[in-house]
Structures are given as structure tokens and as C-alpha cells.
Amino acid sequence: MKVRVAAFTLSLDGFGAGRDQSLTQPLGVHGEKLHEWLLHTETFARLHGSGAGGDRDEDDRFARRSFVNVGAWIMGRNMFGPVRGPWPDDRWKGWWGEDPPYHVPVFVLTHHARAPLTMAGGTVFHFVTGGIHEALRLAREAAGGQDVRIGGGVQTVRQYLQAGLVDEMHLAVSPQPLGQGEALLQGIDLQALGLRCIEQVGTARALHVVLGRAATA
């Protein structure tokens, strides 16, 4: 079982999301430009689009493999939706419609309790108020020996990195600079965390970099 970040997109200048995220711009200003590597793939079409079409190429291979052997997800509340503070009601059910692309239990980090939310296709959102370690414990139990995927956003990934809990991380580095936004790796010493590059593949739309645990002597 691994704890891993997969298919996480970074701008050329290191931002994982643009500034001023909102209901109309969930990825922040110009944030959608970062994901051109993903939007053209067969995997994206299957999970979010018409279910047909899309390219089968190196970008698609990385997108497909990001879902392989994933038994549970963890995400931050900002990734789940734009609602802030105490939940006013249970109407917000995520960005993804009635059948989200996860199809496994998803543990949402929040400071405000909410009852679990069962969606179509096997996705159940659990809202965890006990912090990152509690969410990981619950996700590992739910995953049943499969991997736990840390889905984002930036601050959630940073917390798990800083705690030394990430075993593998796939970054898709876009050639697009953002200039402003949420920096993923600022102040984080990947070498001290034991993470090194174990794979890299360049495409026309992204540089795919996989970081894994350095072998011990």
C-alpha cells in the first residue's frame, strides 16, 4: 500500500492552482490552462465527458495509471467545493455531478462535521474533522490494502508532504507559467523527505515527473 499523489498538475513556475479560486473559476485565474495535457485524453473523456473519444498517448497513460490500484482518496475541502465555514446545508455535493469519477471512499478534510454523502458509482464522501493523520488512518482502513491517493488541493498535498507521509508523487509540469497562485513545493526539501525522480517523460503538453522514495544503502 502506498500513499501517493498522482496526475497533479503544476505550472512552469511551480503553482498548482491560480489565484482567486471561486465557483466560476475552481482552478483559479488561468488555472484551467494547466490541464491541457489531461483534457484531450481518452481517460478524461471516459470519466468526465461523453464516455467516448479522446487520445491514447503518453498523457493518457499517466492519466489512466493514476487510477490504478487506488482504494481510497483524501482531498481538502477546497477541492470538494467552494463552500466555506460551517455547512449551511447538504445541497453541495461536489463539482462532479451525481456520479463522481472516484468510485471508492473519499475522505474530505474539514473543520466542520457533516454526515457522509453517498453518490452513484460507489463514491462515498466522508468528512473528517480530526486532521490529516486521522483521514489517512480511515483511508487506509477503507482502501483494503490498495493505495491511498492524495487528491489535492495544494495545501492538502503540502501537509502530507511536510509530514513525510507521501511515498510517491506524479507531477505533470505544464509549460504554462501562472505568475501567481498556490505554490506546491515552496519551502519543502524533497531530498530531506527521501523523494527522488524515478521516472520522467516529456510530451507536447507536459513533463511528467514521478518522485519516489530513495533506496537506502
Beta-strand pair 207-213/168-173:
antiparallel
Percent of the chain with pLDDT over 70: 90
Which band of pLDDT confidence, cut at 50, 70 and 90, is reported for residue 29? low
Per-residue confidence (pLDDT) for residue 23, from 0 to 100:
65
Torsion of CA 106, 109, 115, 119, to 10 degrees: -30
Per-residue confidence (pLDDT) for residue 33, from 0 to 100:
79
Strand order of the β-sheet with 124-128 is 117-118, 124-128, 105-109, 70-76, 147-152, 3-10, 168-173, 207-213, 195-202
Which band of pLDDT confidence, cut at 50, 70 and 90, is reported for residue 46? confident
What's the pTM value of the predicted model, to 2 decimals? Answer: 0.91
Residue 130: other Cβ atoms inside 10 A:
10
Which band of pLDDT confidence, cut at 50, 70 and 90, is reported for residue 213? confident
Beta-strand pair 147-152/182-183:
unpaired
Per-residue confidence (pLDDT) for residue 47, from 0 to 100:
83
Instruction: Tell which residue, 93, 87, 109, has the closest CA to residue 153.
Output: 109
pLDDT of 139 over the 90 cut: yes
Which band of pLDDT confidence, cut at 50, 70 and 90, is reported for residue 216? very low
pLDDT, tens digit (0-9, with 9 covering 90-100), for 180-210:
888 999 999 999 999 999 999 999 999 999 9
Task: Tell me which CATH homologous superfamily contains domain 3-86+93-213.
Answer: Dihydrofolate Reductase, subunit A (3.40.430.10)
Most confident of 80-84, 85-89, 133-137, 151-155: 133-137
In this prediction, residues 157-183 reach a mean pLDDT of 95
Copy the grid coordinates of residue 211.
Answer: 518522485
Report domain extents, the chain.
3-86+93-213
Which band of pLDDT confidence, cut at 50, 70 and 90, is reported for residue 17? confident
pLDDT, tens digit (0-9, with 9 covering 90-100), for 93-127:
998 889 999 999 999 999 999 999 999 999 999 99
Q: Can you tell me the distance from the alpha carbon of 174 to that of 15, in angstroms, rounded to the nearest whole number?
A: 10
Which band of pLDDT confidence, cut at 50, 70 and 90, is reported for residue 217? very low
Instruction: Tell which residue, 186, 183, 181, 185, has the closest CA to residue 209.
Output: 185
Q: Which helix (H) or strand (E) holds 124?
A: strand 124-128
In this prediction, residues 153-179 reach a mean pLDDT of 95
